[in-house]
Amino acid sequence: MKGVDLVRLSREMSGYAVDVRRYLHVHAEPTSREFETVRFIRCELEKIGLKYVNIPDGGVLAEIDGDGSSHSSILLRADCDALEMTEAPDNAAGKKICISSNPNAAHMCGHDSHTAILLGAARILAKMPPNSIRGKVYLLFERGEEGGNCIYYVMKYIQLHKLRIDSCFALHVEPDLPVGTFWIREGPANAGNVNFEIRLYGKGGHGSRPDLANNPLDCFVAVLNQLKDVRYKYIAPNDLITYNIGSVHCGTRRNIVPDMLEFSGTARFYNVEAGGIFKKKLRDIVDKCADFYDCVVEYRVFSGPGLSVVNNREAARIAADAVTEMYGNGCLKDLPISLGSESFAMLSNYYPSVMIRLGVRNEERGMTAGLHSSHFDLDEDAIPYGISAHLAYVMKYMSVADRAIPFEGFAGDVDAVLKLTNRPVPKRYDTM
Amino acid sequence: MKGVDLVRLSREMSGYAVDVRRYLHVHAEPTSREFETVRFIRCELEKIGLKYVNIPDGGVLAEIDGDGSSHSSILLRADCDALEMTEAPDNAAGKKICISSNPNAAHMCGHDSHTAILLGAARILAKMPPNSIRGKVYLLFERGEEGGNCIYYVMKYIQLHKLRIDSCFALHVEPDLPVGTFWIREGPANAGNVNFEIRLYGKGGHGSRPDLANNPLDCFVAVLNQLKDVRYKYIAPNDLITYNIGSVHCGTRRNIVPDMLEFSGTARFYNVEAGGIFKKKLRDIVDKCADFYDCVVEYRVFSGPGLSVVNNREAARIAADAVTEMYGNGCLKDLPISLGSESFAMLSNYYPSVMIRLGVRNEERGMTAGLHSSHFDLDEDAIPYGISAHLAYVMKYMSVADRAIPFEGFAGDVDAVLKLTNRPVPKRYDTM
């Protein structure tokens, strides 16, 4: 099937995908608790007539068998969770087309469109004439991408059933790219992270006698002073790394010495070794300062260094060829690498994978706000571009029978990944 | 009237004063909003048959005329407000006798007993035989002592009506002193303060790009680092001063750069000049750090240097003589000077005054917790000691006809005090 056909089919599927996107957008559900969203996806898959399994606390994994002329299998992934936040009703130009009806959840990271695009692609793939698809295509509707780590339960399933996966593909909407363009890069595409939430316990008292108490704020200031040295003193200058202290909370009244301080933050990097050094130094600093200031430390969260998304060179080239054949070389745009984190890192560490970015910016229509902003809005005209990119990756990959990308994936099972990245087994929400 | 009579009369009045104390304790009302408490006090004064004025948002000022053989007039002051906190039902030994029925207010600073003691003293003074009291006695039931600054409205009234006041007397319960003892000191008895609540505004953003944002936490850490120098670098070592950062609040999520940080604190000192230096340096540091870190500063509270309570030498001697004549020299105990603040500072800066401390500790009964602790509890056996101290101060002071203590009080009116101490006109709660 030629590129022109994929573009046409994708455009014809737009109406359906836009409806799906709006439905999901209005009925946003927070990370790991996408119960109605999952029901909706299953219902759509049943209408299409696709086989699927509902992986508890993981997501929905559907399957399209090819004609068997190739043993290759590709996994296309869309996430489906929303953020725990309240959506603003307007974008930079005026009212949005639709907004979340749930004041506690909003699709401000565009996962509604990811799922809509993949369902649109699924409908097209399912109706393709015999012999169009040589190998197998998995469609993963992943839950809990925003920190829920639900991909753990998906990987558990994949490893338990020894599913063969030769390559993974995903896209993410990108408000810094105009509609009709893509960003595709070899190598790191998203950052790994170290996340921390730490409590320092001192001793409370009356604000007029700090000498009789022990304000944990003194310890905290010492930690932050030391932390400023880590980047230049211990990490190679060519290793990208940054960090943020996102919150500090301590005390209630000016005349009371607080007895506890809680702070949280994140570090981002591409080289997991650099992340490891940061984490070790942070721990050393906190422990030593706590010792010095006679505070007790509680590491409530201390995860990582987590994996970064690494786009496989050949997978990225296949993806780039797939979209440029449809839209010309001009459709590829450059962007600085993101330092956001992505659960797709898991798949990209096991299989040769690529995650591309899909332009959804439209300045005239006011669709310019960044991801995670309450004003985020996307131009639905981007949806057919997204559908066609999925289709074209499948076609391009399978144009070579039994294509196998040389790749050395992570050797251990998914529990080994948890251990490596110091993350707990993700919380379960499904009734077992 | 002799000391032995005052002791006996005070003991006989104990039952009444204990009942009052328990009633007020159970019906605690927060600072500046002591509406029912005021109604109760007025009702008691009417039962006694005393003249009084209800000063809106200030308190109740009652008056007992003497026999006119002296022009002297003494003001006895009790505060009547509770703290905005929840009382714990137990002290160190077990259940308390009574606890606040208001989950949002509790008499954890003992003002219930101050008012009960003064009402007890009022009943005795009102029934004294003719010629017992030479001059005039004012009884002030002051509202909003705990930061409400209601004394402002009382002083407004006193200055408007040009009331003559020759000396002021007050007591405060002291959980570090055993029942039956007093602490009386010449000179500073409570600290002056500088209070601050400051916001630093930076620029928010995604936690993976602190370089594109401006975390106000960096500015805050710089402020705290500089602040540590002030005490040794700018303030004389013999000037007592201390400070506390009581709260810091900033940010919500680890992967978002916060755009605002709010911190609050207090400094305590006896020498108002030292307090002034601290305040000026704090302001310099915050402004310069904000400039350096490109933050915007909002001084939401920046009051002081406030006045400290200074016990007049002669007034303190009269008070000490008054209690030792009743209870012997052994009743006076030493304690470190308090660094708490006290609204009595206002009166002590206008008139030769003394504030004494009344022992309420009873280890056997578990009454050991400090003021402002939710476990604070006082031994009601201290109440007759308190009543008699008020009576004895009046008698002792007026034993000399037209006694006048040489004193250079604050020259300006109470609005000049507000200006000097950088405090706003206190919030009003009474319906005007």
Which residues does residue A60 pair with via DSSP β-bridges, in sequence order?
A54, A141
pLDDT band at residue B147 using 50, 70 and 90 as cut-offs = confident
Name the strand (E) or helix (H) holding A119.
helix A111-126
The pLDDT value given to residue B432 = 54
Cis ω before B305 (30° cut-off from 0): yes
In this structure, are A184 and A199 located in the same domain? no
pLDDT tens column, B227-251: 999 999 999 999 999 999 999 999 9
pLDDT recorded at residue B394? 96
Q: Per-residue pLDDT for B130 more than 80?
A: no
Residues of B in contact with A215 (CB under 8 A): 244-245
The separation between the first and the last C-alpha atoms of chain B, rounded to the nearest angstrom, is 43
Confirm or reject contact between A207 and chain B (CB < 8 A): yes
What contacts 24+ positions apart, CB below 8 Å, involve B315-320?
A: B315/B167, B315/B169, B315/B352, B315/B353, B315/B354, B315/B405, B316/B184, B316/B185, B316/B186, B316/B354, B317/B186, B318/B167, B318/B354, B318/B393, B318/B396, B318/B397, B319/B169, B319/B184, B319/B354, B319/B356, B319/B389, B319/B393, B319/B396, B320/B184
User: Which pLDDT belongs to residue A3?
Assistant: 65
Quick one: which of A139, A140, A153, A253 has its CA closest to A204?
A253
Answer yes or no: is pLDDT of B29 > 90. Answer: yes
Whole-number pLDDT of residue B132: 86
Q: Are B292 and B249 in contact (CB under 8 A)?
A: no
B146: annotated binding-site residue?
yes
Tokens of A230: 């880590």
- The whole-number average pLDDT for the span A54-69 is 95
Range with top average pLDDT, B38-47, B264-273, B393-402:
B38-47
Tell me the average pLDDT of chain A. 94
Report whether pLDDT(B1) > 70: no
* CA distance to partner chain A, nearest, from residue B80 (Å): 20
Q: For residue range A286-324, list pLDDT tens digits in order.
A: 999 999 999 999 999 999 998 889 999 999 999 999 999
Is residue A51 domain-resident?
yes
The three-class DSSP label of residue A186 is coil
Put simply, the answer to whether A209 touches B339 (Cβ < 8 Å) is yes
Contact A208 B191 (CB under 8 A): yes
Is A375 one of the annotated binding-site residues?
A: no
pLDDT attached to residue A420: 86
Q: Is the pLDDT of residue B83 over 70?
A: yes
Half-sphere exposure of A399 (CA within 13 A, CB side): 13
Is A432 a domain residue?
no
CATH code where residue B369 lies: 3.40.630.10
Closest-CA distance of chain A to residue B371, Å? 9
Question: Chain B: nearest CA to A332, how far in angstroms?
Answer: 24
* B186 and B196 inside one domain: no
| pLDDT of amino acid A2 | 67
**A150 shares its domain with A177:** yes
Structure tokens at A93: 């130009």
pLDDT band at A129 (very low <50, low <70, confident <90, very high): confident
Establish if A426 belongs to a structural domain: no
Q: Are residues B41 and B180 in the same domain?
A: yes
- Backbone angles phi and psi of A94, in degrees to 5: 160, -155
**Phi and psi angles of residue B188, each rounded to the nearest 5 degrees, phi first:** -60, 135
**In a mutagenesis test of the B interface, which of A219, A229, A245 is the best target, namely the one with the most B β-carbons within 10 Å?**
A245
pLDDT band at B127 (very low <50, low <70, confident <90, very high): very high
Q: Which residue has the tokens 């007759």?
A: B384
SS (H, E, C) B225-283: HHHHHHHHHHCCCCCCEEEEEEEEEECCCCCEECCEEEEEEEEEECCHHHHHHHHHHHH
Q: Which residues of B touch A256 (CB under 8 A)?
A: 244, 246, 372
Residue A61: which pLDDT band, with cuts at 50, 70 and 90? very high
Are residues B322 and B184 both part of a single domain? yes
3-state secondary structure of A423: coil
User: Domain end: A303, A324, A345, which one?
Assistant: A303
Q: Is the ipTM of this complex over 0.90?
A: no
- Where does a domain end: B244, B268, B303? B303
Confidence band of A330 (pLDDT split at 50, 70, 90): very high
Res A263 pLDDT > 90 = yes
Quick one: A223 and A136 in the same domain? no
Is A161 annotated as a binding-site member?
no
Q: From the list B197, B244, B257, which residue is nearest A207 (CB)?
A: B244
pLDDT of B380: 98
Give yes or no for residue B373 having a pLDDT over 90: no
d(CA B192, CA B348) in angstroms, rounded, equals 12
Shared domain check, A409 and A293: no
Question: Which residues 296-355 of B have a C-beta within 8 angstroms of A?
Answer: 338-341
> Chain A interface, mutation test: which of B84, B212, B214, B244, most A Cβ atoms within 10 Å?
B244
Distance to chain B for A208, nearest Cα, Å: 5
> Which pLDDT band, with edges at 50, 70 and 90, does A80 fall under?
very high
**Is residue A1 over pLDDT 70?**
no
Task: Name the strand (E) or helix (H) holding A265.
Answer: strand A260-269
Same domain flag for B166 and B196: no
User: What's the pLDDT at A279?
Assistant: 97
A208 and A141 in a common domain: no
- The radius of gyration of chain B's CA atoms, rounded to the nearest angstrom, is 23
CB contact under 8 A, B266 and A221: no
Coil, helix or strand at residue B10: helix
A172 pLDDT tier (thresholds 50, 70, 90): very high
Position A340 confidence tier, pLDDT thresholds 50, 70, 90: confident
A127 shares a domain with A34: yes
Q: Are residues B166 and B249 in the same domain?
A: no
Range of the domain at A268: 192-303
**Count of domains observed in chain B:** 2
Q: Nearest residue on chain A to B265, judged by CA atoms?
A: A254
Secondary structure in 3-state letters for chain B:
CCHHHHHHHHHHHHHHHHHHHHHHHHCCCECCCCHHHHHHHHHHHHHHCCEEEEECCCEEEEEECCCCCCCCEEEEEEECCEECCCCCCECCCCECCCCCCCCCCECCCCHHHHHHHHHHHHHHHHCCCCCCCCCEEEEEEECCCCCCCCHHHHHHHHHHCCCCCCEEEEEEEEEEEECCCEECCCEECCCEEEEEEEEEECECEECCCHHHCECHHHHHHHHHHHHHHHHHHHCCCCCCEEEEEEEEEECCCCCEECCEEEEEEEEEECCHHHHHHHHHHHHHHHHHHHHHCCCEEEEEEEECCCCCCEECHHHHHHHHHHHHHHHCHHHECCCCCCCCCCCHHHHHHHCCEEEEEEEEEECCCCECCCCCCCCCCCCHHHHHHHHHHHHHHHHHHHCCCCCCCCCCCCCCCHHHHHHHCCCCCCCCCCCC
Better-predicted residue by pLDDT, B79 or A422: B79
Q: Are B55 and B157 in contact (CB under 8 A)?
A: yes
Residue of A nearest to B257 (CA): A246
Largest CA distance in chain B: 82
Q: Between residues 238 and 267 of chain A, which touch chain B (CB distance below 8 Å)? A: 242-258, 261, 264-266
Instruction: Using CB atoms, pick whichever of B196, B224, B249 lies closest to residue A221.
Output: B224
CATH number at residue B226: 3.30.70.360
**Confidence at B417, pLDDT banded by 50, 70, 90:** very high
| Three-state secondary-structure class, residue A129 | coil
In a domain, B34, yes or no: yes
Partners of B242 on chain A (C-beta within 8 Å) are 208-211
Stretch among A180-184, A360-364, B337-341 having the lowest mean pLDDT: B337-341
pLDDT band of residue A65 (cuts 50, 70, 90) is very high
3 state DSSP class of B417 = helix
Which residues lie below 8 Å from residue A95, measured CB to CB, with a gap of 6+? A89
Spatial neighbors of A423 by CB under 8 A, at least 6 apart, are A149, A303, A304, A306
Query: Region B11-18: what's the mean pLDDT?
Result: 98
Mean pLDDT of A335-360: 93
pLDDT at A432: 54
B170 part of a folded domain: yes
Nearest-angstrom CA–CA distance, B422 and B194: 9
Give every CB contact of residue B88 below 8 A, 6+ residues apart in sequence: B374, B375
Asked if residue A346 and residue A261 are part of one domain, the reply reads no
Any domain includes A428: no
Q: What is the structure's pLDDT at B131?
A: 84
Q: Which residues contact A144 (CB under 8 A, 6 or more apart)?
A: A31, A32, A34, A57, A81, A150, A151, A343, A426
Where does a domain end: A303, A331, A358?
Answer: A303
CA distance B321 to chain A (A): 30
Query: What pLDDT is recorded for position A131?
Result: 84
B13 inside domain: yes
Within a domain: residue B184?
yes
Q: Which amino acid is it at A224?
A: L
pLDDT band, residue A170 (cuts 50/70/90): very high
In this structure, how many other beta carbons lie within 10 angstroms of the beta carbon of residue B338?
24
Q: Please indicate whether, in this complex, the C-beta atoms of A244 and B254 are within 8 angstroms of each other.
A: yes
Amino acid found at B38? V
**Would you place residue B296 in the very low, low, confident or very high pLDDT band (cuts 50, 70, 90)?**
very high
Q: Is the pLDDT of residue B431 over 80?
A: no
